[in-house]
Amino acid sequence: MGRRPARCYRYCKDKPYIKSRFCRGVPDPKIRIYDVGNKWADVDLLPQCVHLMSDEKEQISAECLEAARIVVNKYMSTQVGKDGFHMRIRAHPFHVLRINKMLSCAGADRLQTGMRHAFGKPIGLIARVRIGQILMSIRTRPGDKAHAIEACRRAGYKIPGRQKICIAKEWGFTKFSWDEYKLYKKQGRLDHEGAHATWRRAHGPIAKAGKKAVLSYELERKSIIQKNAAEKAAVEKAAAIKAAKAAAAAYQEAMRKRNQA
């Protein structure tokens, strides 16, 4: 008996059913690699990040995740090279699928119906996702943002339901925005840990921190970053309003000259 289509297990109906000592004989997931590309690249080399987010509460099979990983790896490798991106699958298939196998081949004298709502045996694994959950993330160079968006768009064809492509405000796979990352790096408060960067707080004994000690009076507050961002947004809004008024005035002047002619 072949594998059932993924549409039979698309919706989240029951409780999560994971592999355990009570649920044995579960086959391995189809996807075994979750990071592709230049996963050893330093956090400073690939600052631009693009996310593919789920817009439905559903279940995504391991086969779908593997197909999406393959298409992203192939497209990004041909466009930016193997060292120009790092893609990470963020959804993991833990939920076990079950099926009640029955004879339906030519050898059977009559078609089996079996018991309704039978429990079944494990046949595969899927990932249960919610609305707004990130399915995969791609970090790359700022100039290759369009290629990352196209890769996410192609990956969406391998996954059921609706997805959204989001441009992250954070620096790479870190939790810091671009302004925060630049400020903390200038202050020497970041410890690079491969694809991530941790933030050193200005608390605790200085002797324990050693050379990594950071004094609080030397640091610029995060509120200053937020204030500068608000002022920048206000200036951009005022400029946009001024440009719109100028365009409207030019249009009215052109219409007035046209009516006079």
Question: Looking up tokens 């992250």, which residue turns up?
Answer: 168
All residues at 6 or more sequence positions from 13 whose CB lies less than 8 Å from its CB, including other chains = none
pLDDT value for 1: 52
Percentage of residues of the chain with pLDDT beyond 70 = 88
Q: How far apart are CA 39 and CA 41, in angstroms?
A: 6
The answer to whether residues 189 and 219 touch, using CB atoms and an 8 Å cutoff, is yes
Task: Give the pLDDT confidence of 7-66 residue by residue, as tens digits.
Answer: 888 999 889 999 999 988 999 999 999 999 999 999 999 999 999 999 999 999 999 999
Q: To 10 degrees, what angle do helices 145-156 and 62-80 make?
A: 150
The arithmetic mean of pLDDT across residues 149-165, rounded, is 95
CA 124 to chain centre: 24
Q: To 10 degrees, what angle do helices 222-260 and 178-187 make?
A: 140
The answer to whether residues 125 and 97 touch, using CB atoms and an 8 Å cutoff, is yes
Q: Average pLDDT over the chain, rounded to whole?
A: 88
Q: What is the pTM of this model?
A: 0.75
The answer to whether residues 148 and 138 touch, using CB atoms and an 8 Å cutoff, is yes
Better-scored residue on pLDDT, 210 or 82? 82
